Amino acid sequence: MTFKRKLAWALTACVLAGVLWLIAAFQLFHNPPRATPQKTDAIVVLGGMSNERLPVGLALRDQLGIKDLVVVTTGLPANAGSDEFCEAHDGVTHLDCLRPDPLNTRGEALRLRDLAAERGWTSVTVVTSDYHVQRAGTLMKQCIAADVHMVGTEPELSPVAWVWRFVVETGGLLDVWVRPEC
């Protein structure tokens, strides 16, 4: 086989692999399976994209009659809405505002593991963005002894931002499979 022919085959294989990855990433991160929300012991709103996630968490709390609400605070611009909510509702019964350490999804899973055990929760609903449902759900299920129900919110992202999320979440999902947290 000539060098040109080998190069053509290699390029074709790379393009095909890229297209297959894009299809899989679209299904996993843009169009994740949607579960019907159900009553659980607590609603947890993960950090980041708070303008998208917090309203969904609050609406589910009211709709399902769930009294315990956990809101992650970060001090970062994308989480300003949740941070402000926690400041405004400081001391409210059945509201836990927590800042994970480390300040990432692994840190959130570790803090929620401890909180769920302390409170005796047997089930939790975790609210995050659609693109984050697979990775966050995997981490939460690795760490939390309670049943974890994931609810995704629909972010408004440009096509370029979606592709970037696909890359980030693919790497993150591979990481949680290779290095389970708890």
162 within a domain of the structure (yes/no): yes
Mean pLDDT of all residues in 118-136: 95
pLDDT score of 165 more than 80? yes
Peptide bond into 102 cis (omega under 30): yes
* Mean pLDDT of all residues belonging to the chain: 92
128 within a domain of the structure (yes/no): yes
138 or 15: which carries more pLDDT confidence? 138
Cβ-contact 50, 81 below 8 angstroms: yes
Mean pLDDT of all residues in 172-179: 90
Pick from 173, 142, 143: nearest CA to 27: 173
3 within a domain of the structure (yes/no): no
23 within a domain of the structure (yes/no): no
pLDDT score of 31 more than 90? no
User: Could you tell me the CATH number of the domain that includes residue 69?
Assistant: 3.40.50
94 or 91: which carries more pLDDT confidence? 94
pLDDT at 149: 95
pLDDT at 73: 95
15 or 118: which carries more pLDDT confidence? 118
124 within a domain of the structure (yes/no): yes
pLDDT at 121: 96
Mean pLDDT of all residues in 44-50: 95
76 within a domain of the structure (yes/no): yes
pLDDT score of 181 more than 80? no
Signed CA dihedral, 151, 156, 162, 164: sign only: negative
75 within a domain of the structure (yes/no): yes
83 within a domain of the structure (yes/no): yes
pTM of the predicted protein model: 0.88
The total number of structural domains that make up the chain: 1
Strand 42-45 and strand 123-129: the pairing is parallel
Question: How far out from the chain centre does Cα 5 lie?
Answer: 44
| Range(s) of the domain holding residue 162 | 30-178
Over residues 132-155, the pLDDT tens digits come to 999 999 999 999 999 999 999 999
pLDDT at 15: 83
Mean pLDDT of all residues in 22-37: 86
Backbone angles phi, psi at 65, to 5 degrees: 70, 40
Of 27-41, 46-60, 101-115, 148-162, the poorest mean pLDDT is in 27-41
101 or 182: which carries more pLDDT confidence? 101
pLDDT at 47: 95
